[in-house]
Structure 1
Amino acid sequence: MKRVLVLGGTGDGLAIARGLPAGHVYSLAGLGRVPADLACSVRVGGFGGIDGLVRYLRDERIALVVDATHPYAAQMSRHAHAACASAHVPLWAVRRPAWQPQAGDDWRDAPDWRGIVERIGSYRRPLFTLGREPLAHLDEIPASQHWTIRCLDAHPGNARATIVDARGPFDLDGERALFDAAGVDVVISKNSGGRATEAKLAVARERGLAVVMLARPVLPDAHRTFDDAASALDALTHWLHTSEQ
């Protein structure tokens, strides 16, 4: 049997894992919920860098790796690329297309955290949808601002920060309610692509609010690249079927 390792942590990764039978592996970094309804094995935690991943691929006799990590999980994608090259294991990747600005959008690109801070200096009620990164900067919030930070798990805030723990998908009505409750006047987002978290962009467009968009990292090439989980799973199912003949 040729074993597949899916590097997940996204809805795309989970959708692929749900299509895998027993004997294959779905890997999570351990930051989100661990699915309990998969036929394949679930592995939680890091690999110990590139060398550790190479050892894992060889020890577990992995014949194909599917990188379905988040578009901003650049280090894991780079490690996967290097490890697969070293272990001579093919690498496939799901590369979700980035969102594109539409008529009425006011997007301001930012290359990094420093760029984000520079672009939101004139605003009072920013909404951060970057995950955990803003939590490391709670002590740096200007007296003129109150941050709303949405991430997956509950964390304590402070006098100038409200932490909202929520997991997508998010709809328009829910996003409108959040914007109203928090008094949002600017949105800070990763350009993650996909539909699960896109509603915030539509609400910002409705209200004429600026969106500061963190630039996507450059990811390494893969042997095959797919735009979505469905096409990746179709190709993977075909690959598994033909490899068993």
Structure 2
Amino acid sequence: MSPRILLLGGVGDALAIARRLGPRHIYSLAGLGKVPSDLACQVRVGGFGGTEGLARFIASEGIDLLLDVTHPYAAQISANAARAAQLAGIACWALHRPGWQAGSGDNWREVADWPELRNALAPFRRPFFTLGREPLEHLEAIPAEQFWTLRLLDAHPGHARARIIANRGPFNLEGERELFAAEHFDVLISKNSGGGATEAKLQVARERGLPVLLLARPELPEVERAFTDPEFLWQALQPLLRETP
């Protein structure tokens, strides 16, 4: 019988793989955003209770291979996955999606953490945050001269000096152009996530001559096999999925 796979996901690349898995396999989501209901594989929502909890789940479910296809900035989840696979005695494969690279006309600056980012934002008045939920923790510290726009997966009541946009990518170029023009952003703040789902915002920033502040990528753990392209990962799975009793 072919190995049983546990796929840790939550991003578009993981969903694309999950759509091709059969009913023996499990697609795991942390619980944020929409839960797909059209998959042939099993879907699990929620955490595992850290490294040890994930290792116990792997053993109890008879998992043979762990696939880490989480967000490039989900460093703690990736660390838990690599360690849990070691504890359970199975292999961990991971998708390490390449980050975006600055091109001609780009004005990009990498910042290490939130304090460095706040200092870099001082000259600006209308920043556009595409970092996820982290800026929500700092709404009460918005300087009087700034108005923030945050784009998140889920709704939030907002703040007197902040607008919350609840939306999920992919985002098209025309839609991003309209948003930037309407809101008069003067700086874009983003994670260097890579991929095409949210890349249009970078093109619009380039077109409008806006600076971009990029939160530095975290260091990810070593695993048995790491892939830079989801299709390469899928192809590597084929000999395993074809195994029969």
TM-score (norm: length of structure 1): 0.98
Question: Counterparts of 2:155 and 2:13 in 1: how far apart (Å)?
Answer: 24
**Aligned residue number for residue 101 of structure 2:** 100
Does structure 1 residue 110 correspond to structure 2 residue 116? no
**Aligned residue number for residue 166 of structure 1:** 167
How far off its partner does 1:55 sit? 0.3
Does structure 1 residue 71 correspond to structure 2 residue 59? no
SS in 1 for 2:85: helix
**Aligned residue number for residue 62 of structure 2:** 61
Q: Percent identity?
A: 58
Does structure 1 residue 221 correspond to structure 2 residue 238? no
**Amino acid paired to 1:188:** I
**Aligned residue number for residue 126 of structure 1:** 127
How far off its partner does 1:219 sit? 0.1
**Aligned residue number for residue 178 of structure 1:** 179
Runs of 4+ off more than 2 Å: none
Question: Counterparts of 2:109 and 2:120 in 1: how far apart (Å)?
Answer: 8
In the TM superposition, 1:1-245 aligns within 5 A as 1=1, 2-242=3-243, 244=244
**Amino acid paired to 2:67:** V
SS in 1 for 2:132: coil
Cα deviation digits, residues 187-223 of structure 1 (max 9, x gap): 0000000001001110111111100000000001111
How far off its partner does 1:136 sit? 1.0
**What is the RMSD computed on CA atoms of the aligned residues?**
0.9
**Amino acid paired to 2:214:** M
Question: Counterparts of 1:26 and 1:184 in 2: how far apart (Å)?
Answer: 38
Question: Counterparts of 1:215 and 1:193 in 2: how far apart (Å)?
Answer: 12
SS in 2 for 1:75: helix
Gaps of 5+ in 2: none
